[in-house]
Amino acid sequence: MSDSDQIFRYQDDRDRRKTRRPLSWQILSIAVIGTLGFFVFLAVMLSESKDRADLLKDIRDTRYPVQASLLSALNQLETIDNNLEHAFISSNGALLDHSMILAAQFRGQLHQVMMLERSNAIEINTILAAFDKYFSDSHALAQSTISGQRDFSDTTLIKQANARTFNDLMESLGTLQTDHSESLVASVDSATQRASDALRVGLTTGVLTAVLLFLVAFITTRSILQRINNMVRSLRQIAVSDGDMNVRIPLTGSDEMTELAFWFNTFLEKLQRMTAESTAEVKRLAFTDTLTNLPNRRMFLRCLNSEIERLDTLQNSTLAVLFLDLDNFKPVNDQLGHDAGDELIRIVAQRLVHTVRGEDTVSVNSDLSEPVPGQPVVARLAGDEFMMIISELKNQQQAANIAERIRMAIMEPYVINGMECAVGVSIGICLYPDNSDDAEELITGADMAMYQAKNSGKNTYRFFDPALRTATEHKVQMDNAIKKAIPNGELHLMFQPQFNLSNGKLVGAEALLRWENPELGVFSPNDFIKQAEANGQICELDDWVMKSVLDHLLMWENKGIKPIPIALNFSAAQASRPSLALAVSRIAGTHKHLLSSIEIEITETSAIDNIAVVENNIQALKAMDMKIAMDDFGAGHSSLTLLTRCDIDTLKIDKAVTREIRTDRKCRSIVQAIIDLATELEVATVAEGIEDEAQAHALAEMNCDLGQGYYYSKPLRAAEFARYLERHRDGIDKAA
Ligand code: C2E
Ligand code: MG
Ligand code: MG
């Protein structure tokens, strides 16, 4: 996603944030509902209890006293009426007086009622007025009777009128009392009702609040948990399904959880994009050679396998695997520098692609993991090695023609950094299905054929020969076996005695390495030294020989045999090893005194390319009291370089020269010249390969100092040589 896309998306997100209903509001609403519910409940309960309290106060202070006063007034009215009647009948003045008191009390009760319940004032005043009339009439009647002044003619009429007034009074009071009584009952009922109403309202408010709270909390929690679970599910899916990042959380709602989900999805998208990019890059790096942008060995193998699979279904179709190695690339690289070497490799890659595909640019398929069927493939293995697949060939000749075209194209001169240079190419060709139908075998076959091309003088091509495979397999078998020779204890030394040619006395011996493998048999160094040199194991073998020679010298010393000079052979790699003196010193350990009995034989070969290091090593070895011999002098690469630059003690005349000494005049002259040169340089001479007495005599006559060969003794096993030593104990040349 581009930056602008991202900003747009961010803006979009800001809008989203503006319009969302935040989850916190939901949580806040829970608190608000809870608080509101509580206050509503509190307000309802408070107001209800205040009303109830007012009602109860009214009952206590008004309703009940009014009721009591009215009841009391009724009783008093009845008592007054009784007293007046009895006073009238019995002319009892005391009763009359008592009724006066009761009348005052009656009035007092009614006044109190009037005070408490002002609404009854008119009614009470009416009753009071009626009572006053009734009482005064009844009292006057009773008084007149007691005093005897009463005219009884109107008594009955007055009494009837009084009785009616009394009844009216009783009725009015009764009605008032009944009304008040009902009002009292209504107030009590109302108070009770209020109490239960308050309870009901309180309960309803509580229940409603609780339900509302539960609902909001449930919805909020559910939506949070649901989305957390969604995220957990998505993450688990990514984790368990080997990183399938196509999972997305649905964006429902617009709260914080949605925002979290949104960013989670965005993060996944980014991660997915980054993973895809890095996977593509890893794929590119895994399948491409970064210098030339050509497919590498891995990709080549993949293409080859898929092409073989495809050709399996076609009939009469041949495929050629070409293995190419540039000739003389190393000098160009060394002389012009590595950058120029890289440039040359790039041009070679272009020429190869152009030759087989007709394309000028080195480009590989964008999706490298998908080989294009039938298309020629050019790959770079490493260094100056390339490989090719040419598919759907009609015959072998077509492959040969392509190889020739390639050879011609590569031979064209190169101009790099203004300098002109040239390289050749050795090509090995292996054919499917004739040589093999296995990709790896086709590659190794082409590789072997390429070596054949190199061995045939380079800058040519060769087809794979099945016999090559057997030789290579044997080589590989040997290679693996040599590597195990030391740990398996398969090595031993042979000792070939050396003699003074003038008096025939034993003067020393040469230690010769033998490898005895239970399956492959016994090998002379000539059979495996080259391979050990190639696989880098040679120094280890030479170290072993040195250690073994020292062990034997020590053993013989312990047996009381006088130390005898032993010569041992160093390979070119060992002679030019930078840390040779250190290695020798470590091997000798506490037996350094035995080093004076050792002579190191070095053969001057083409492998010795750093003469300065060899020179240093020779000096160091001599400083450790060892002697140095030049082996196989007069044959191979022997020159005068080492002899002139290094302090050599002995020259060993090669057995090839010795052999011809009696028959070939030239050889005799060479040997004589070597001996004269050695005498001049004060270097001892040893002739090797003396096979008969005549050779021994001839060499003695030519003043060769020492000799070794089958004439004297074949190389002997250590135990045999120890016995040989004891037999010739007295014959050892003291001067040696
Ligand atoms: P070299 O140092 O010239 O050893 C002499 C070779 O000539 C030995 O072969 C020996 O067996 C052989 N020989 C001795 N007398 C006669 C004779 O009268 N006639 C004939 N035809 N041959 C004779 P070998 O043991 O097979 O060793 C071959 C070469 O391998 C040695 O040549 C030496 O260069 C190398 N070599 C031997 N041992 C070692 C070793 O421990 N380390 C290294 N690096 N090379 C070794
Ligand atoms: Mg030797
Ligand atoms: Mg030799």
pLDDT at 242: 64
Average the pLDDT over each of 33-37, 170-174, 342-346 and give the range with the smallest value: 33-37
Q: Give percent helix, percent strand, percent coil of the chain, each to the nearest 5.
A: 65, 15, 25
Measure 592 CA to ligand 2 centroid, in angstroms: 22
What pLDDT digit, counting tens, does each position of 636-679 carry? 766 788 888 889 999 999 999 998 898 889 889 999 999 999 99
pLDDT at 587: 97
Q: Is the pLDDT of residue 84 over 90?
A: no
Residue whose CB lies within 8 A of the most ligand 1 atoms, among 569, 570, 711, for a mutation test: 569
pLDDT at 653: 95
Residue nearest to atom 20 of ligand 1 (CA): 689
Please report which ligand is nearest the Cα atom of 601: 2
Highest-confidence range of 36-45, 100-109, 197-206, by mean pLDDT? 100-109
pLDDT at 22: 66
Residue nearest to atom 43 of ligand 1 (CA): 569
Q: Are 425 and 325 in contact (CB under 8 A)?
A: yes
Write out the DSSP string of 620-634: HHHHTT-EEEEEEET
Measure 628 CA to ligand 2 centroid, in angstroms: 11
364 in contact with ligand 1, CB cutoff 6 A:
no
Q: Are 443 and 323 in contact (CB under 8 A)?
A: yes
Average the pLDDT over each of 9-18, 74-83, 314-323, 695-704 and give the range with the smallest value: 9-18
Q: Is the pLDDT of residue 724 over 80?
A: yes
- Which contiguous run of DSSP H or E holds residue 475? helix 466-485
pLDDT at 597: 96
Residue reference for tokens 């190389």: 715
Calculate what percentage of the chain has a pLDDT beyond 70: 92
Please report which ligand is nearest the Cα atom of 525: 1
Residue nearest to atom 45 of ligand 1 (CA): 569
Ligand 1: atom nearest CA of 574 is 44
Residue nearest to atom 25 of ligand 1 (CA): 512
- Residue 559: what residue type? K
Measure 630 CA to ligand 2 centroid, in angstroms: 8
Write out the DSSP string of 234-264: HHHHHHHTTS-TT------SSSHHHHHHHHH
CB-based neighbours (< 5 A) of ligand 3, an ion: 631-632, 688
348 in contact with ligand 1, CB cutoff 6 A:
no
What pLDDT digit, counting tens, does each position of 589-636 carry? 999 999 999 999 998 876 677 888 999 999 999 999 999 999 999 887
689 in contact with ligand 1, CB cutoff 6 A:
yes
CA 456 – CA 468 distance, rounded (Å)? 14
Q: Is the pLDDT of residue 479 over 80?
A: yes
Query: pLDDT band for position 15 (50/70/90)?
Result: low
Cis bond before residue 22 (omega within 30° of 0): no
Measure 206 CA to ligand 2 centroid, in angstroms: 112
Q: What is the mean pLDDT of residues 359-368?
A: 51
pLDDT at 51: 80
Please report which ligand is nearest the Cα atom of 526: 1
Query: Between helices 155-240 and 23-58, what is the axis angle to 10°?
Result: 170
Write out the DSSP string of 656-721: HHHHTTTT-HHHHHHHHHHHHHHHHHT-EEEEE---SHHHHHHHHHTT--EEESTTT---EEHHHH
CB-based neighbours (< 5 A) of ligand 2, an ion: 569, 601, 631
Query: pLDDT band for position 16 (50/70/90)?
Result: low
Highest-confidence range of 69-83, 88-102, 110-124, 413-427, by mean pLDDT? 413-427
pLDDT at 367: 47
Highest-confidence range of 144-148, 453-457, 702-706, by mean pLDDT? 702-706
Measure 688 CA to ligand 3 centroid, in angstroms: 6
Measure 653 CA to ligand 3 centroid, in angstroms: 7
What pLDDT digit, counting tens, does each position of 508-552 carry? 999 999 999 998 899 999 989 888 988 889 999 999 999 999 999
**What residues have CB less than 8 Å from 581, skipping those under 6 apart?**
617, 620, 621, 623, 624
Phi then psi for 105, rounded to 5 degrees?
A: -65, -40
Residue nearest to atom 24 of ligand 1 (CA): 524
Residue nearest to atom 44 of ligand 1 (CA): 571
Residue reference for tokens 């000079």: 565
For residue 602, give both structure tokens. Answer: 């070095």
524 in contact with ligand 1, CB cutoff 6 A:
yes
Measure 655 CA to ligand 3 centroid, in angstroms: 7
What pLDDT digit, counting tens, does each position of 62-72 carry? 888 888 888 88
205 in contact with ligand 1, CB cutoff 6 A:
no
- Residue 19: what residue type? T
**Which residues on neighbouring strands pair with residue 323, listed in sequence order?**
387, 428
601 in contact with ligand 1, CB cutoff 6 A:
yes
Q: Is the pLDDT of residue 469 over 60?
A: yes
Calculate what percentage of the chain has a pLDDT beyond 90: 43
How many C-beta atoms lie closer than 10 Å to residue 719's C-beta?
A: 8
655 in contact with ligand 1, CB cutoff 6 A:
yes
Residue whose CB lies within 8 A of the most ligand 1 atoms, among 494, 688, 695, for a mutation test: 688
CA 426 – CA 460 distance, rounded (Å)? 5
512 in contact with ligand 1, CB cutoff 6 A:
yes
How many C-beta atoms lie closer than 10 Å to residue 567's C-beta?
A: 24
Measure 632 CA to ligand 3 centroid, in angstroms: 4
Residue nearest to atom 11 of ligand 1 (CA): 715
Which domains occur in the chain, in start order? 3-22+224-284 (no CATH), 30-209 (1.20.120.1730), 288-464 (3.30.70.270), 487-726 (3.20.20.450)
pLDDT at 4: 42
Please report which ligand is nearest the Cα atom of 512: 1
For residue 187, give both structure tokens. Answer: 């107030």
- Which contiguous run of DSSP H or E holds residue 429? strand 424-432
Average the pLDDT over each of 98-102, 318-322, 648-652 and give the range with the smallest value: 98-102
What pLDDT digit, counting tens, does each position of 370-397 carry? 667 888 999 999 999 999 999 989 889 9
Measure 661 CA to ligand 1 centroid, in angstroms: 19
| Between 17 and 236, residue with greater pLDDT | 236
213 in contact with ligand 1, CB cutoff 6 A:
no
Write out the DSSP string of 100-147: HHHHHHHHHHHHHHHHH-GGGHHHHHHHHHHHHHHHHHHHHHHHHHHH
pLDDT at 667: 87
CA 667 to chain CA centroid, Å, is 72
pLDDT at 674: 93
Measure 524 CA to ligand 1 centroid, in angstroms: 8
Write out the DSSP string of 483-551: HHHTTTT-EEEEEEEEEETTT--EEEEEEEEEEEETTTEEE-HHHHHHHHHHTT-HHHHHHHHHHHHHH
636 in contact with ligand 1, CB cutoff 6 A:
no
Ligand 1: atom nearest CA of 711 is 18
Ligand 1: atom nearest CA of 632 is 3
Measure 513 CA to ligand 2 centroid, in angstroms: 10
595 in contact with ligand 1, CB cutoff 6 A:
no
715 in contact with ligand 1, CB cutoff 6 A:
yes
- Which contiguous run of DSSP H or E holds residue 603? strand 598-603
Q: What is the mean pLDDT of residues 57-65?
A: 85
Q: Is the pLDDT of residue 7 over 70?
A: no
CA 79 – CA 138 distance, rounded (Å)? 13
90 in contact with ligand 1, CB cutoff 6 A:
no
Q: Is the pLDDT of residue 5 over 60?
A: no
pLDDT at 613: 92
Q: Is the pLDDT of residue 573 over 50?
A: yes
654 in contact with ligand 1, CB cutoff 6 A:
no
Measure 510 CA to ligand 3 centroid, in angstroms: 10
Region of residue 460 (phi > 0: left; psi between -120 and 50: alpha; otherwise: beta): beta
Phi then psi for 444, rounded to 5 degrees?
A: -65, -35
Measure 599 CA to ligand 1 centroid, in angstroms: 15
Question: Considering the chain, what is the average pLDDT of its residues?
Answer: 86
571 in contact with ligand 1, CB cutoff 6 A:
yes
